[in-house]
Homo-oligomer: A and B are copies of this chain.
Amino acid sequence: MGPSRLHGLIDGVFAIALTLLVLDLPRPRDSAHLAHDLADQWPSYAAYLVSFVTVGILWIEHHGMMSAVRQINRRFLERTLLFLLFVSIIPWPTAIAADYADQGSQATAAAVLYAGVMMLMGLSFALSWQYLAAHPQLVAEPARTALRAGTRRALLGGLVYAVAIAVAFLSPTASFAIDAVVALYFAASKTEVPGLIHRAAQAGEE
């Protein structure tokens, strides 16, 4: 089974998750100080931005992985669905993080929830990489040597969120800051996985 049709489902879920985030940007009702009330909602904008960038970068990374895949099977499809489960759920912890980020003692639970979903998203991405590393025949030959680096990179993402969960009990603000820094770090890295795209390109496909 070729991977092409799976792209339709993946891109659809990502596009919708990215776009549904907008439904949680609050719309002040009957405000007499609209400019002020809009400015007051900055935690919602920050949460929107961090989630959008994280999910967007994740799409790029996942797209990089998929560009090396030449064949898929049912077990790989199932791991992909598990990953999409956590992608599609993103608007939910984002809305809760925006609501409770500045709510004193409740902010810890919100920060744990947010980093927890992100961690599960990272770990389920690592599960996809790891499956490919264990079944290199599914992958274009020049890209096979990059599979372990990809697994490590996704695991690293997941583990940083584990740190963010622990930090949330000391300082929810610091925990959210870690979430934001992860997004920026992966946005600033030059390639998905060192050499992956280059090697896939050498294979002369996509």
Q: Answer yes or no: A42 CB below 8 A from chain B CBs.
A: no
Q: Which residues of A contact B (CB under 8 A)?
A: 1-2, 4-5, 7-9, 11-23, 25, 27-29, 31-35, 38, 48-49, 52-53, 56-57, 59-60, 63, 66-67, 74, 77-78, 81, 84-85, 88-92, 95-96, 99-100, 103, 106, 108-110, 112-113, 187, 190-192, 197, 200-201, 206
Q: List 30 A-B contacts (CB under 8 A).
A: A1-B200, A5-B7, A5-B67, A8-B8, A9-B14, A11-B15, A13-B18, A15-B15, A15-B16, A17-B19, A17-B22, A18-B84, A18-B88, A20-B23, A22-B90, A23-B23, A27-B95, A27-B96, A27-B99, A29-B99, A33-B106, A34-B96, A35-B108, A35-B112, A38-B96, A49-B85, A53-B81, A57-B81, A60-B74, A74-B197
Contact B74 A192 (CB under 8 A): yes
Q: Which of B59, B91, B108, B197 contacts A22 (CB under 8 A)?
A: B91
Contact B22 A88 (CB under 8 A): yes
Contact A52 B92 (CB under 8 A): no
Contact B201 A1 (CB under 8 A): yes
Which residues in B have their C-beta under 8 angstroms from that of A108? 35
- In Å, the complex CA distance between A113 and B38 comes to 9
Q: How many chain copies does the complex carry?
A: 4
4 interchain residue pairs of minimum CB distance = A12-B15, A8-B11, A35-B109, A34-B109
Which residues in B have their C-beta under 8 angstroms from that of A91? 22-23
- In Å, the complex CA distance between A63 and B77 comes to 11
Which residues in B have their C-beta under 8 angstroms from that of A85? 49, 52, 56
Contact A34 B100 (CB under 8 A): yes
Given contact pairs A13-B18, A15-B9, A20-B22, A1 touches B84 in the complex (Cβ within 8 A): no
- In Å, the complex CA distance between A25 and B100 comes to 16
- In Å, the complex CA distance between A20 and B13 comes to 10
Contact A110 B34 (CB under 8 A): yes
- In Å, the complex CA distance between A4 and B66 comes to 13
